[in-house]
Amino acid sequence: MIVGYGLAGAVFHAPLIESTPGMEVTAVVTANADRSAQAARTYPSAAVFDSVDEIWDEADLFDLVVIATPNRLHAPLAIRAMEEGIPVVVDKPMATSAREARDVIAMSESTGILMSCFQNRRWDGDFLTVQRLITEDVLGPVARFESRFDRYRPAPRQGSWRESGTAGEAGGLLWDLGSHLIDQALVLFGRPALVYAEMPKRRPGTAVDDDTFLALTFENGITAHLWMSVVSRLPGPRVRVMGLRGTYEKHTADPQEDQLRSGMLPAQPGWGEEAQDHWGRLSTQIDGDTVDRRIETERGAYEQYYAGVRDALIEGRPMPVEPTDALRAIEVIGAAQVSAAERQTVQVPLEDVMHFGERDA
């Protein structure tokens, strides 16, 4: 069952679920009449509900609840689903504060109900390529990791909760694109020791950060510089990794989001693959020889997330993204908010950092 049928529910979750052997979309919850009609057309065998309150009396009919609602509802709905005994996938971010995230994890642990956060960009082709290069020590010891999502939207979208400045909505780029970039950095390098952030509001009339920068410093000295912007008409490199022996740089973004938007599914030819002129460039030393050339990008594989969820539910394997990983990313977001507000670097034992606004609670 999918709760919420906007971009996340309709474009990401539903197609990936339907493409996973052993899984299917059996119900959709949306209060929007147009989206309800769209869901009924696309998944004619699925039940469509106007309100999530309609499903709890039939909780035993569902093996999984996918929460793809606005951010403010992620934690409350995840907790309610687990109270009803249903495993949960929550779209990122898992909650709107570290306190909420801990409540979600506590409910999962106390009930024994499985839950996971949908961090699909762990299966971006560029990120998989970076992981391979680091694992194979192609670049030597890593000095700096740079990653960015640059977009161009010069005017705020009126009426969009993502453009809201209220703490409860968790809008803005740090919560949105930052959730992905931070998660990737933490997967690569673990827990940062220091966080520095800039969160300006560039566009006239905007209520949220729209041109954000984070610097994460890790105990081993590696730094991660993360950018997310909607005021960049000319995007910078999607990813750049500098090691003491070499550098990898790639400019174009993973194709899977655009493929899903166009209706392509993981089983179809070309899924997750990039044209050669989109491959990144590697410059390094291998066995004493200089290598400077384009290297093929690993095939993107968002479908592996729901395959992992299926295997966790049926075979008892670990969820593909552990809830504690989602909590750590939210703690970094909280540290970044404190850093930007106080205009200073924040020292991070992550477990001690609260969401900005919780300090005085």
pLDDT at 355: 43
| Helix/strand/coil for 359 | coil
Are 181 and 228 within 8 A, CB to CB?
yes
CA distances from 242 to 147, 284, 353 (A): 12, 10, 29
Name 101's Cβ contacts closer than 8 Å, sequence gap at least 6. 75, 94, 95, 323, 326, 327, 330
Q: How far apart are CA 64 and CA 266, in angstroms?
A: 21
By C-alpha distance, which of 85, 90, 112 is closest to 101?
90
Tell me the average pLDDT of the chain.
94
- 329 and 101 Cβ atoms separated by less than 8 Å: no
pLDDT at residue 107 is higher than 80:
yes
Mean pLDDT within 146-174: 91
pLDDT at 182 over 60: yes
The CA distance from 361 to 112, in Å, is 29
76: preceding bond cis by omega (within 30 degrees) = no
- Supply the DSSP string of 150-163, one letter for each residue: E-B--SPPTT-GGG
Distance of alpha carbon 322 from alpha carbon 117, whole angstroms = 7
Name the band, by pLDDT with cuts 50, 70 and 90, for residue 356: very low
| Residue 119 scores a pLDDT above 80 | yes
> Which residue blocks in the chain are alpha helix, DSSP H?
14-18, 33-42, 74-83, 98-111, 125-135, 177-189, 256-261, 303-315, 323-342
- Give residues with Cβ within 8 angstroms of 302, minimum separation 6: 12, 16, 120, 123, 256, 260, 266, 272
Say which CATH class 2-120 falls into. alpha beta
Domains of the chain: which residue ranges? Answer: 2-120, 121-300+332-342
DSSP 9: I
Question: For the residues of 62-91, what is the DSSP string, one character each?
Answer: -S-EEE-S-GGGHHHHHHHHHHTT--EEEE
Confidence of residue 168 (pLDDT cuts 50, 70, 90): confident
The answer to whether 10 touches 39, Cβ cutoff 8 Å, is yes
Superfamily of domain 121-300+332-342: Dihydrodipicolinate Reductase; domain 2 (3.30.360.10)
Q: Looking up tokens 């409350």, which residue turns up?
A: 76
User: pTM of the predicted model, to two decimals?
Assistant: 0.94
pLDDT of residue 187: 98
Mean per-residue pLDDT for 84-109?
Answer: 97
How distant, in Å, are the alpha carbons of 212, 296, 329 from that of 350?
A: 21, 36, 9
